[in-house]
Chain A
């Protein structure tokens, strides 16, 4: 399963994401970028419920390690970022965020996590075609995403969670 994209009905596109199975390589890719932004979806809580872990806190660790901004439209995530005292975030609706990512060239890497699969699939495809000159994209989902530049593999969620924690450690070093 691991190097396959998630959806069974996936039609191969001409430009497909590179699946990165090694968290060290993944960490290296992130570190290559100077201005990363992390987009947190409103479905992060579903993953948290399955792994019984605070993934928002893990993302904050990643953001701190690579000095990334966060953006989210999830009220739950906003409340938790506030409670953690994390300031470097914006409330942003995903459509407007990707519109700005393509237009403003403020960031060079957009990292996605916690979105509905198909919703992220299409946001990534917009960026793939209309923002590729200045922006790379990375999916940190447990589901391999073909329209990103790089994606984590499709994995059982507990295994994915282990990799996410390992990635955090790689980025901290």
Chain B
């Protein structure tokens, strides 16, 4: 345990002594957290090495396949050091160790960003609602905050109870980050263990952040029928003053909506958002606020000239936003000291003075750390600025697109700078002849990083040209998304837990993460719909949840209108913003707790072992980009949930791959007998970068397979694996690793029985017994055997 906590609390209503008279004194020593009925588990407040054993078990099976993004180390003045092949740096570190070290650094950044977000929410919301405000996440959520309970052993009841949890996470991140310093950790496996630790801490921070806002700001509380709201570049009413909120921390955006309501002018101003603040402002307001799109839609929207005022909070903000706003005559209001953007601070001035300064153009924006004041300034500025900016809301005439395209010399500098390597020159060539199809195609895949414009020797505003060419497409982007619902109900878990564990529900597929999609947003809804039709439970969060909305079926319905929002087979569940990812991890933990009755309290290893071996869940972070995404993924790995990333995710420096042909890696214990038995290569990988959507879908189906599947469950999962494989590669083909996944003849899917049996004969397949109670932990074996005696 790394944080001791005390139950000492005293209240003195009245105390008279010869020296003084005291009334109404509250005295507490240490942290005060109310006890709960469940006995303390083995690992409360785990420190770096507490779960190291579990990490090593995982890492000996899922070994890193290193994909160095840089062959050098330049972190200290010994360097630069050449680490290529088998060389080591001056400090003694090799290339593999260095990659794992960098992943630890990346995850430290991600986890600290989330905990910093949570801390800020904690301080603001406790100030506003008090420490005693109850954590009520919905009447159907009795097991609230399962990650926090599992990791720390604390069952928080009030906002104030979360302080000990935040203190713990912050201390652990500092401890773990210190390991990255030169001359500390020296082994890849222990760096990877620290990566897992940071991921686990990150999940706790996510859960704290979302519980705070759900409980205090009255977000939907595990509501499968949360309202549908508008999403897309075409949903904003440009005739009104427009306030665009960007980032992840909802408090400033919420203050804007509150101010508009107080003034009785909510209908006069458009409030729209990008990235997770957009999710959370719709969770807060539930009706009028609109979502423009995921984070990579920032320049796509700002360049339209539509926003009058841009209010930024924290994380994933385009960092040249002040300059971009200046180009369209808009102003920027920064609201956190983590992202000041060079703006002058105006927290102490009167709102009228700041509005006047902004309107006069003397300052391009302001840093205002008082959120209520920031809201007032944003609204007043938008109301006055909007009428003067109407002309700026229509950019670049279409004929200019052709003229600019004619200036292009096809030098391909733009393509060499483009992270997507898009064929811009070719599209410009077509556009110069009046054919804009190439540019429109590029628009779909472009995430508006603007690198093309910086390198163009002819100063062509390449991004503007692409955006203008796709103008019609942009304005037709009008979709519906279900507001993030927050946690999964205990009753929903009870209804599906058994079928998930036995395999009758083929799996839970979670679409999470950022918007760095290779083929644009469309891949995500295509995958989500496929799995929903196949009766998987589909859950989503963050930018991926937005992407799912950006698709319409033949009837014009988005997946959120087409499928139920319940956590049930065939459901498409939007849990909310990035921090709501905690509800996805929370759902799998709750399956172990509610269905299997495993103790939750500080019982991390046993629960993670259960999840890895029984719960067919997989994450698909198709556009994962950030350090936060890396930390979130790491939390899932330690918990036993594999994650697939898209092709850009390969840049996370290493994958964690199992090797189906390394038999010794796939032995585990049968907890009923204590015997070590072969469990098969399932789930085969823990972290995997797919090259294409088809590959990701096939892999996702495969990674839902678990050692504990019943024969019927395994057959259902294999049916999906085989049919997806056939769908992409041809109906005469079978996956070539089937013999490793079929334990007994009862596992063979009836639909494909004849051809599978033929295949098994060809490869000399032999039956291997299936295991009903698999575990990787000796402790679990001992526990089971003790119970049986």
Which A residues lie at the B interface, using CB under 8 A? Answer: 1, 6-9, 11, 13-15, 41-42, 46, 50, 73-75, 78-79, 82, 90-91, 93-96, 98-99, 103, 115-119, 122-123, 125-126, 128-130, 132, 143, 154, 156
Contact A13 B650 (CB under 8 A): no
The one of A50, A116, A117 in contact with B691, judged by C-beta atoms closer than 8 angstroms, is A116
What residues of A have a CB within 8 angstroms of the CB of B729 in the complex? 75, 78, 91
Contact A15 B650 (CB under 8 A): no
- Which chain A residue lies CB-closest to B455? A8
Given A73-B694, A129-B84, 18 other A-B residues pairs in contact with their CB atoms under 8 A: A6-B416, A8-B416, A13-B71, A13-B84, A14-B71, A15-B85, A73-B695, A78-B733, A91-B736, A99-B659, A119-B689, A122-B67, A122-B69, A122-B650, A125-B67, A126-B65, A128-B84, A129-B95
Contact B691 A119 (CB under 8 A): yes
* Residue B651 interfacial (CB < 8 Å): yes
**Which stretch (B129-137, B277-285, B417-425, B629-637) binds chain A?**
B417-425
The one of B66, B421, B690 in contact with A130, judged by C-beta atoms closer than 8 angstroms, is B66
What residues of B have a CB within 8 angstroms of the CB of A82 in the complex? 730
| Residues A8 and B423 in contact in the complex (CB < 8 Å), given A119-B691, A123-B67 | no
- Which chain B residue lies CB-closest to A104? B661
The one of A90, A98, A129 in contact with B85, judged by C-beta atoms closer than 8 angstroms, is A129
- Which chain B residue lies CB-closest to A92? B736
Which B residues lie at the A interface, using CB under 8 A? Answer: 65-72, 82, 84-85, 95, 410, 412-413, 416-417, 419, 421, 423, 426, 455, 518, 647-648, 650-651, 655, 657, 659, 688-692, 694-695, 699, 728-730, 733, 736
| Residues A118 and B647 in contact in the complex (CB < 8 Å), given A95-B688, A132-B85 | yes
- Which 4 pairs from chain A and chain B are nearest by CB? A122-B67, A75-B728, A42-B692, A14-B82
The one of B410, B518, B730 in contact with A116, judged by C-beta atoms closer than 8 angstroms, is B518
What residues of B have a CB within 8 angstroms of the CB of A46 in the complex? 423
Contact A95 B71 (CB under 8 A): no
A82→B728 CA distance, assembly (Å): 13
| Residues A125 and B455 in contact in the complex (CB < 8 Å), given A116-B691, A117-B421 | no
Shortest beta-carbon distance from A29 to chain B in Å: 21
- Which chain B residue lies CB-closest to A77? B729
Shortest beta-carbon distance from B414 to chain A in Å: 10
The one of B70, B416, B655 in contact with A95, judged by C-beta atoms closer than 8 angstroms, is B655
Contact A8 B413 (CB under 8 A): yes
A125→B419 CA distance, assembly (Å): 18
What residues of B have a CB within 8 angstroms of the CB of A11 in the complex? 70
The one of A1, A103, A119, A130 in contact with B650, judged by C-beta atoms closer than 8 angstroms, is A119
A90→B84 CA distance, assembly (Å): 31
Contact A99 B69 (CB under 8 A): no
Shortest beta-carbon distance from B644 to chain A in Å: 10
Contact B657 A75 (CB under 8 A): no
The one of B423, B657, B695 in contact with A99, judged by C-beta atoms closer than 8 angstroms, is B657
- Which chain B residue lies CB-closest to A13? B71
Which of A7, A13, A14, A95 lies at the interface centre, i.e. has the most chain B CB atoms within 10 A of its CB? A95
- Which chain A residue lies CB-closest to B698? A93
A80→B596 CA distance, assembly (Å): 49
Contact A8 B84 (CB under 8 A): no
Contact B417 A95 (CB under 8 A): no
| Residues A95 and B730 in contact in the complex (CB < 8 Å), given A15-B84, A73-B691 | no
What residues of A have a CB within 8 angstroms of the CB of B417 in the complex? 8-9
Shortest beta-carbon distance from A47 to chain B in Å: 9
Contact B651 A93 (CB under 8 A): no
What residues of A have a CB within 8 angstroms of the CB of B648 in the complex? 118
Contact B690 A93 (CB under 8 A): yes
A141→B692 CA distance, assembly (Å): 18
Contact A126 B70 (CB under 8 A): no
Contact B72 A95 (CB under 8 A): no
What residues of B have a CB within 8 angstroms of the CB of A117 in the complex? 421
| Residues A156 and B455 in contact in the complex (CB < 8 Å), given A74-B692, A129-B95 | no
Contact B647 A125 (CB under 8 A): no
Contact A125 B416 (CB under 8 A): no
A94→B647 CA distance, assembly (Å): 11
What residues of A have a CB within 8 angstroms of the CB of B736 in the complex? 90-91
A126→B65 CA distance, assembly (Å): 8
Contact B71 A129 (CB under 8 A): yes
A60→B65 CA distance, assembly (Å): 30
What residues of B have a CB within 8 angstroms of the CB of A9 in the complex? 417
Contact B65 A98 (CB under 8 A): yes
What residues of B have a CB within 8 angstroms of the CB of A126 in the complex? 65-68
- Which chain A residue lies CB-closest to B699? A93
Contact A79 B730 (CB under 8 A): yes
The one of B82, B421, B426, B690 in contact with A50, judged by C-beta atoms closer than 8 angstroms, is B426
What residues of B have a CB within 8 angstroms of the CB of A1 in the complex? 412
What residues of B have a CB within 8 angstroms of the CB of A91 in the complex? 729, 733, 736
- Which chain A residue lies CB-closest to B662? A103
Which of B84, B647, B655, B736 lies at the interface centre, i.e. has the most chain A CB atoms within 10 A of its CB? B647
A1→B415 CA distance, assembly (Å): 13
Contact A41 B82 (CB under 8 A): no
Which of B82, B651, B659, B692 lies at the interface centre, i.e. has the most chain A CB atoms within 10 A of its CB? B692
Contact A99 B65 (CB under 8 A): yes
A5→B405 CA distance, assembly (Å): 26
Contact A42 B691 (CB under 8 A): yes
A103→B72 CA distance, assembly (Å): 24
A78→B423 CA distance, assembly (Å): 25
A132→B85 CA distance, assembly (Å): 8
Contact B416 A7 (CB under 8 A): yes
A91→B65 CA distance, assembly (Å): 20
What are 23 inter-chain pairs, A to B, with CB distance below 8 A? A8-B413, A8-B417, A9-B417, A13-B72, A14-B72, A14-B82, A14-B84, A50-B423, A73-B694, A75-B694, A91-B729, A91-B736, A103-B659, A116-B421, A116-B518, A118-B421, A119-B689, A125-B67, A125-B71, A126-B66, A126-B68, A129-B68, A132-B85
Which of B413, B416, B688 lies at the interface centre, i.e. has the most chain A CB atoms within 10 A of its CB? B416
What residues of A have a CB within 8 angstroms of the CB of B413 in the complex? 8
- Which chain B residue lies CB-closest to A11? B70
What residues of B have a CB within 8 angstroms of the CB of A7 in the complex? 416
- Which chain B residue lies CB-closest to A143? B421
Shortest beta-carbon distance from B49 to chain A in Å: 29
A117→B650 CA distance, assembly (Å): 12
